[in-house]
Amino acid sequence: MKYYREGQLLRYIGTWIPLAVLVLIVLYFYVVYMETYLMPLIKSEYVSRPLVEINTYLIQLVHINDYVFSNQTIGITITLHIILILFTITLIRVVMTIPGHVPVEWLNKIEDEIRQMIENEENMINHNKKGSQTSTSFSSEIDDEQRLHLNVKVKNEIIDKQGRRHCKNCSAFKPKRCHHCRQCKTCWLKMDHHCQWLNNCIGHGNYKLFINLLGYAWFLISFIMITYSRCYYDTMNSYSSDAKLFLVSFTFLYCCFLWVILTAFTLFHLWAIKSNITTLEYCENKPREPLQKGVWNNIFEVFGKNPLVWFLPIQPDTKPILD
Protein backbone atom coordinates (compact mmCIF):
# COMPACT_ATOMS: atom_id res chain seq x y z
CA MET A 1 0.00 0.00 0.00
CA LYS A 2 2.85 2.33 0.93
CA TYR A 3 4.46 1.67 -2.46
CA TYR A 4 1.17 2.35 -4.29
CA ARG A 5 0.98 5.75 -2.60
CA GLU A 6 4.52 6.69 -3.52
CA GLY A 7 4.12 5.39 -7.07
CA GLN A 8 7.06 3.04 -6.57
CA LEU A 9 5.29 -0.27 -7.05
CA LEU A 10 7.17 -1.11 -10.24
CA ARG A 11 10.52 -0.31 -8.66
CA TYR A 12 9.62 -2.44 -5.63
CA ILE A 13 8.65 -5.40 -7.84
CA GLY A 14 11.87 -4.86 -9.81
CA THR A 15 13.98 -5.38 -6.68
CA TRP A 16 12.60 -8.94 -6.39
CA ILE A 17 13.32 -9.92 -10.01
CA PRO A 18 16.96 -11.08 -9.44
CA LEU A 19 15.78 -13.34 -6.59
CA ALA A 20 13.04 -14.76 -8.85
CA VAL A 21 15.70 -15.40 -11.53
CA LEU A 22 17.91 -17.14 -8.93
CA VAL A 23 15.02 -19.40 -7.88
CA LEU A 24 14.25 -20.17 -11.55
CA ILE A 25 17.93 -21.12 -12.17
CA VAL A 26 17.82 -23.54 -9.21
CA LEU A 27 14.50 -24.95 -10.43
CA TYR A 28 15.88 -25.33 -13.96
CA PHE A 29 18.85 -27.39 -12.72
CA TYR A 30 16.63 -29.49 -10.49
CA VAL A 31 14.08 -30.30 -13.20
CA VAL A 32 16.68 -31.03 -15.92
CA TYR A 33 18.81 -33.11 -13.51
CA MET A 34 15.80 -35.15 -12.41
CA GLU A 35 14.35 -35.56 -15.91
CA THR A 36 17.51 -36.36 -17.83
CA TYR A 37 19.57 -38.16 -15.21
CA LEU A 38 18.13 -39.23 -11.87
CA MET A 39 14.63 -40.35 -12.88
CA PRO A 40 15.89 -42.43 -15.87
CA LEU A 41 18.48 -43.94 -13.50
CA ILE A 42 15.82 -44.81 -10.91
CA LYS A 43 13.48 -46.16 -13.62
CA SER A 44 16.19 -48.29 -15.20
CA GLU A 45 16.85 -49.98 -11.87
CA TYR A 46 13.16 -50.22 -11.04
CA VAL A 47 12.06 -52.03 -14.23
CA SER A 48 14.96 -54.45 -14.07
CA ARG A 49 13.12 -56.33 -11.34
CA PRO A 50 10.95 -59.34 -12.29
CA LEU A 51 7.46 -58.19 -13.32
CA VAL A 52 5.67 -60.35 -10.79
CA GLU A 53 7.39 -58.53 -7.95
CA ILE A 54 6.14 -55.02 -8.82
CA ASN A 55 2.47 -55.94 -8.78
CA THR A 56 1.72 -54.76 -5.27
CA TYR A 57 2.83 -51.76 -3.28
CA LEU A 58 3.88 -54.03 -0.40
CA ILE A 59 6.28 -56.01 -2.56
CA GLN A 60 7.78 -52.80 -3.94
CA LEU A 61 8.60 -51.68 -0.40
CA VAL A 62 10.16 -55.03 0.40
CA HIS A 63 12.32 -54.72 -2.66
CA ILE A 64 13.50 -51.24 -1.78
CA ASN A 65 14.72 -52.76 1.46
CA ASP A 66 16.25 -55.58 -0.53
CA TYR A 67 18.40 -52.98 -2.32
CA VAL A 68 16.67 -53.21 -5.67
CA PHE A 69 17.96 -49.68 -6.12
CA SER A 70 21.72 -49.44 -6.10
CA ASN A 71 23.45 -47.78 -3.16
CA GLN A 72 24.75 -45.17 -5.55
CA THR A 73 21.26 -44.14 -6.72
CA ILE A 74 19.90 -44.01 -3.16
CA GLY A 75 23.00 -42.02 -2.07
CA ILE A 76 22.63 -39.50 -4.92
CA THR A 77 18.88 -39.03 -4.30
CA ILE A 78 19.24 -38.52 -0.54
CA THR A 79 22.34 -36.28 -0.74
CA LEU A 80 20.83 -34.09 -3.47
CA HIS A 81 17.63 -33.49 -1.53
CA ILE A 82 19.34 -32.88 1.83
CA ILE A 83 21.60 -30.17 0.32
CA LEU A 84 18.65 -28.73 -1.60
CA ILE A 85 16.50 -28.50 1.54
CA LEU A 86 19.33 -26.86 3.53
CA PHE A 87 19.94 -24.45 0.63
CA THR A 88 16.24 -23.49 0.45
CA ILE A 89 15.91 -22.96 4.22
CA THR A 90 19.07 -20.82 4.26
CA LEU A 91 17.96 -18.82 1.21
CA ILE A 92 14.67 -17.93 2.91
CA ARG A 93 16.46 -17.08 6.15
CA VAL A 94 19.07 -14.80 4.51
CA VAL A 95 16.37 -12.92 2.58
CA MET A 96 14.18 -12.50 5.69
CA THR A 97 16.86 -11.68 8.29
CA ILE A 98 17.54 -8.03 9.16
CA PRO A 99 21.27 -7.32 8.65
CA GLY A 100 21.62 -5.52 11.99
CA HIS A 101 20.43 -2.09 13.14
CA VAL A 102 22.63 0.18 15.25
CA PRO A 103 21.64 -0.68 18.87
CA VAL A 104 19.49 1.97 20.58
CA GLU A 105 21.70 1.70 23.71
CA TRP A 106 24.74 2.71 21.67
CA LEU A 107 22.90 5.69 20.15
CA ASN A 108 21.69 6.73 23.64
CA LYS A 109 25.25 6.55 24.94
CA ILE A 110 26.43 8.93 22.20
CA GLU A 111 23.46 11.25 22.83
CA ASP A 112 24.36 11.34 26.55
CA GLU A 113 27.95 12.14 25.64
CA ILE A 114 26.81 15.02 23.39
CA ARG A 115 24.39 16.32 26.01
CA GLN A 116 27.15 16.31 28.62
CA MET A 117 29.54 18.16 26.32
CA ILE A 118 26.90 20.78 25.47
CA GLU A 119 26.20 21.25 29.17
CA ASN A 120 29.88 21.79 29.85
CA GLU A 121 30.16 24.31 27.00
CA GLU A 122 27.07 26.18 28.19
CA ASN A 123 28.38 26.28 31.73
CA MET A 124 31.61 27.71 30.40
CA ILE A 125 29.75 30.46 28.49
CA ASN A 126 27.59 31.25 31.51
CA HIS A 127 30.65 31.39 33.68
CA ASN A 128 32.39 33.81 31.31
CA LYS A 129 29.32 36.04 31.08
CA LYS A 130 28.98 36.24 34.84
CA GLY A 131 32.64 36.98 35.34
CA SER A 132 34.17 35.16 38.23
CA GLN A 133 30.80 33.83 39.49
CA THR A 134 30.45 30.12 38.83
CA SER A 135 27.08 29.15 37.44
CA THR A 136 25.51 25.77 37.08
CA SER A 137 22.44 27.19 35.37
CA PHE A 138 22.69 27.19 31.64
CA SER A 139 19.18 27.99 30.54
CA SER A 140 18.93 31.73 31.08
CA GLU A 141 22.18 32.84 29.46
CA ILE A 142 22.03 30.86 26.22
CA ASP A 143 19.59 31.63 23.43
CA ASP A 144 18.30 29.15 20.87
CA GLU A 145 20.69 30.25 18.14
CA GLN A 146 23.69 29.78 20.41
CA ARG A 147 22.40 26.39 21.50
CA LEU A 148 22.07 25.31 17.86
CA HIS A 149 25.58 26.55 17.17
CA LEU A 150 26.87 24.66 20.22
CA ASN A 151 25.12 21.51 19.08
CA VAL A 152 26.83 21.66 15.68
CA LYS A 153 30.19 22.51 17.28
CA VAL A 154 30.01 19.59 19.74
CA LYS A 155 28.97 17.14 17.02
CA ASN A 156 31.85 18.29 14.80
CA GLU A 157 34.20 17.93 17.73
CA ILE A 158 33.01 14.35 18.32
CA ILE A 159 33.52 13.56 14.64
CA ASP A 160 36.90 15.31 14.22
CA LYS A 161 38.58 14.67 17.57
CA GLN A 162 37.07 11.40 18.75
CA GLY A 163 36.84 9.97 15.26
CA ARG A 164 33.15 9.12 15.60
CA ARG A 165 31.35 8.44 12.31
CA HIS A 166 28.18 10.23 11.32
CA CYS A 167 25.65 9.30 8.66
CA LYS A 168 24.32 12.34 6.79
CA ASN A 169 21.44 10.35 5.32
CA CYS A 170 20.18 9.04 8.67
CA SER A 171 21.35 12.16 10.60
CA ALA A 172 22.74 9.84 13.25
CA PHE A 173 26.06 8.62 14.55
CA LYS A 174 27.17 5.16 13.52
CA PRO A 175 29.71 2.72 14.98
CA LYS A 176 32.84 1.76 13.11
CA ARG A 177 32.34 -0.76 10.27
CA CYS A 178 28.73 0.38 10.02
CA HIS A 179 27.69 1.58 6.56
CA HIS A 180 24.71 3.28 5.01
CA CYS A 181 23.01 1.32 2.24
CA ARG A 182 21.42 3.52 -0.42
CA GLN A 183 19.04 0.77 -1.55
CA CYS A 184 17.85 -0.06 1.98
CA LYS A 185 18.10 3.62 3.07
CA THR A 186 19.45 2.42 6.44
CA CYS A 187 22.75 2.08 8.26
CA TRP A 188 23.69 -1.57 8.88
CA LEU A 189 26.21 -2.95 11.38
CA LYS A 190 29.35 -4.41 9.76
CA MET A 191 27.66 -4.12 6.38
CA ASP A 192 29.30 -6.42 3.85
CA HIS A 193 27.39 -5.54 0.69
CA HIS A 194 23.89 -5.13 -0.68
CA CYS A 195 23.06 -8.35 -2.49
CA GLN A 196 20.75 -7.70 -5.46
CA TRP A 197 20.21 -11.46 -5.91
CA LEU A 198 18.80 -11.77 -2.39
CA ASN A 199 17.19 -8.31 -2.31
CA ASN A 200 18.71 -7.75 1.12
CA CYS A 201 21.82 -6.32 2.66
CA ILE A 202 24.40 -8.67 4.09
CA GLY A 203 25.67 -7.46 7.45
CA HIS A 204 26.42 -8.45 11.01
CA GLY A 205 22.96 -10.02 11.49
CA ASN A 206 22.98 -12.38 8.50
CA TYR A 207 26.58 -12.72 7.26
CA LYS A 208 27.00 -16.22 8.72
CA LEU A 209 23.75 -17.33 7.03
CA PHE A 210 25.04 -15.84 3.78
CA ILE A 211 28.26 -17.89 4.10
CA ASN A 212 26.15 -21.00 4.81
CA LEU A 213 24.14 -20.23 1.68
CA LEU A 214 27.33 -19.91 -0.38
CA GLY A 215 28.58 -23.19 1.09
CA TYR A 216 25.38 -25.11 0.32
CA ALA A 217 25.23 -23.57 -3.18
CA TRP A 218 28.84 -24.63 -3.79
CA PHE A 219 28.20 -28.19 -2.55
CA LEU A 220 25.00 -28.40 -4.60
CA ILE A 221 26.61 -27.22 -7.82
CA SER A 222 29.72 -29.39 -7.26
CA PHE A 223 27.53 -32.42 -6.55
CA ILE A 224 25.39 -31.84 -9.65
CA MET A 225 28.48 -31.22 -11.81
CA ILE A 226 30.26 -34.40 -10.69
CA THR A 227 27.26 -36.73 -10.90
CA TYR A 228 25.87 -35.14 -14.07
CA SER A 229 29.22 -35.58 -15.87
CA ARG A 230 28.23 -39.26 -16.23
CA CYS A 231 24.99 -38.28 -17.96
CA TYR A 232 26.88 -35.82 -20.15
CA TYR A 233 29.42 -38.49 -21.12
CA ASP A 234 26.72 -41.11 -21.85
CA THR A 235 24.64 -38.66 -23.91
CA MET A 236 27.67 -37.61 -25.94
CA ASN A 237 28.51 -41.24 -26.67
CA SER A 238 25.03 -42.43 -27.58
CA TYR A 239 22.54 -41.79 -30.35
CA SER A 240 20.47 -39.18 -28.55
CA SER A 241 18.15 -36.66 -30.18
CA ASP A 242 19.56 -33.22 -30.99
CA ALA A 243 17.26 -31.65 -28.42
CA LYS A 244 18.51 -33.92 -25.62
CA LEU A 245 22.10 -33.47 -26.74
CA PHE A 246 21.72 -29.69 -26.58
CA LEU A 247 19.85 -29.74 -23.25
CA VAL A 248 22.37 -32.01 -21.50
CA SER A 249 25.44 -30.23 -22.95
CA PHE A 250 24.07 -26.77 -22.14
CA THR A 251 23.13 -27.78 -18.60
CA PHE A 252 26.48 -29.41 -17.89
CA LEU A 253 28.55 -26.53 -19.31
CA TYR A 254 26.36 -23.93 -17.57
CA CYS A 255 26.89 -25.89 -14.35
CA CYS A 256 30.70 -25.83 -14.86
CA PHE A 257 30.56 -22.07 -15.54
CA LEU A 258 28.57 -21.41 -12.35
CA TRP A 259 30.93 -23.66 -10.39
CA VAL A 260 33.94 -21.53 -11.41
CA ILE A 261 32.17 -18.26 -10.45
CA LEU A 262 30.83 -19.68 -7.18
CA THR A 263 34.20 -21.18 -6.23
CA ALA A 264 35.94 -17.81 -6.75
CA PHE A 265 33.21 -15.99 -4.80
CA THR A 266 33.29 -18.51 -1.93
CA LEU A 267 37.09 -18.44 -1.72
CA PHE A 268 37.01 -14.62 -1.58
CA HIS A 269 34.58 -14.70 1.35
CA LEU A 270 36.59 -17.36 3.19
CA TRP A 271 39.67 -15.17 2.78
CA ALA A 272 37.62 -12.13 3.94
CA ILE A 273 36.52 -14.00 7.11
CA LYS A 274 40.11 -15.08 7.81
CA SER A 275 41.32 -11.50 7.29
CA ASN A 276 38.37 -9.87 9.11
CA ILE A 277 37.50 -7.59 6.23
CA THR A 278 34.14 -6.86 4.62
CA THR A 279 33.52 -6.59 0.87
CA LEU A 280 32.90 -2.84 1.25
CA GLU A 281 36.16 -2.35 3.16
CA TYR A 282 37.98 -4.36 0.50
CA CYS A 283 36.45 -2.23 -2.29
CA GLU A 284 37.20 1.05 -0.49
CA ASN A 285 40.84 -0.02 -0.46
CA LYS A 286 41.84 2.67 2.00
CA PRO A 287 44.12 2.32 5.04
CA ARG A 288 42.18 0.70 7.82
CA GLU A 289 42.81 0.41 11.50
CA PRO A 290 44.27 -2.98 12.37
CA LEU A 291 41.42 -5.45 12.67
CA GLN A 292 43.52 -8.60 12.77
CA LYS A 293 42.98 -10.53 15.97
CA GLY A 294 44.18 -13.90 14.82
CA VAL A 295 42.53 -16.26 12.38
CA TRP A 296 40.51 -18.21 14.96
CA ASN A 297 39.13 -15.05 16.62
CA ASN A 298 38.14 -13.76 13.19
CA ILE A 299 36.35 -17.05 12.47
CA PHE A 300 34.62 -17.00 15.89
CA GLU A 301 33.46 -13.42 15.24
CA VAL A 302 31.46 -14.61 12.22
CA PHE A 303 30.55 -18.21 13.08
CA GLY A 304 30.31 -18.03 16.88
CA LYS A 305 32.16 -20.36 19.24
CA ASN A 306 29.93 -23.43 18.89
CA PRO A 307 31.24 -25.56 15.99
CA LEU A 308 28.01 -27.63 16.06
CA VAL A 309 26.08 -24.79 14.39
CA TRP A 310 28.81 -23.68 11.97
CA PHE A 311 27.42 -25.79 9.14
CA LEU A 312 23.73 -25.34 9.96
CA PRO A 313 21.55 -22.43 8.80
CA ILE A 314 21.61 -20.81 12.23
CA GLN A 315 22.82 -17.25 12.87
CA PRO A 316 24.87 -17.20 16.12
CA ASP A 317 24.08 -14.58 18.74
CA THR A 318 27.46 -12.87 18.47
CA LYS A 319 27.73 -9.38 19.92
CA PRO A 320 28.59 -6.65 17.42
CA ILE A 321 31.85 -4.78 17.95
CA LEU A 322 30.72 -1.17 18.20
CA ASP A 323 33.72 0.88 19.36
Among 114, 167, 270, 291, binds Zn ion (CB under 5 A): 167
Alpha-carbon gap, residue 298 to 99, rounded angstroms: 19
Nearer to Zn ion, 127 or 166 (CB): 166
DSSP string covering 148-177, please?
Answer: HHHHHHHHHHHHHTS--EEETTTTEEE-TT
Least separation in angstroms between CB 127 and Zn ion: 37
Residue 269 as a binder of Zn ion (CB under 5 A): the answer is no
Phi, psi values for residue 175, rounded to 5° = -70, 170
List C-alpha distances in Å: 315 to 31, 96, 204, 258: 30, 12, 10, 26
Q: How far is the CB of 181 from Zn ion (least distance, A)?
A: 3
Q: Which of 181, 187, 195, 255 is catalytic?
A: 195
Exposed e or buried b per residue across 35-46, where buried means at least 16 C-beta atoms within 10 angstroms of its C-beta: ebbbeebbeebb
Q: How many CB atoms lie within 10 A of CB 70?
A: 13
Contacts of 156 (CB under 8 A, 6+ apart): none
Using CA atoms, how far apart are residues 102 and 189, in angstroms rounded to an integer? Answer: 6
Identify which range of 20-28, 64-72, 161-169, 303-311 contacts Zn ion by CB under 5 A: 161-169
Least distance from C-beta 112 to Zn ion, angstroms?
A: 21
Indicate which single residue of 32, 142, 201, 214 sits in contact with Zn ion (rule: CB under 5 A). 201
* Residue whose CB is less far from Zn ion, 86 or 198: 198
Q: With binding defined as CB under 5 A, does residue 204 bind Zn ion?
A: no
The reply to whether 189 sits near Zn ion by the rule CB under 5 A is no
Q: Scanning residues 245 to 264, which ones bind Zn ion (CB under 5 A)?
A: none
Decide if residue 181 touches Zn ion (CB under 5 A): yes
Indicate if 195 belongs to the active site. Answer: yes
| Interface ranges with Zn ion (CB under 5 A) | 167, 169-170, 180-181, 183-184, 187, 194, 201
- Catalytic residue numbers, as ranges: 195
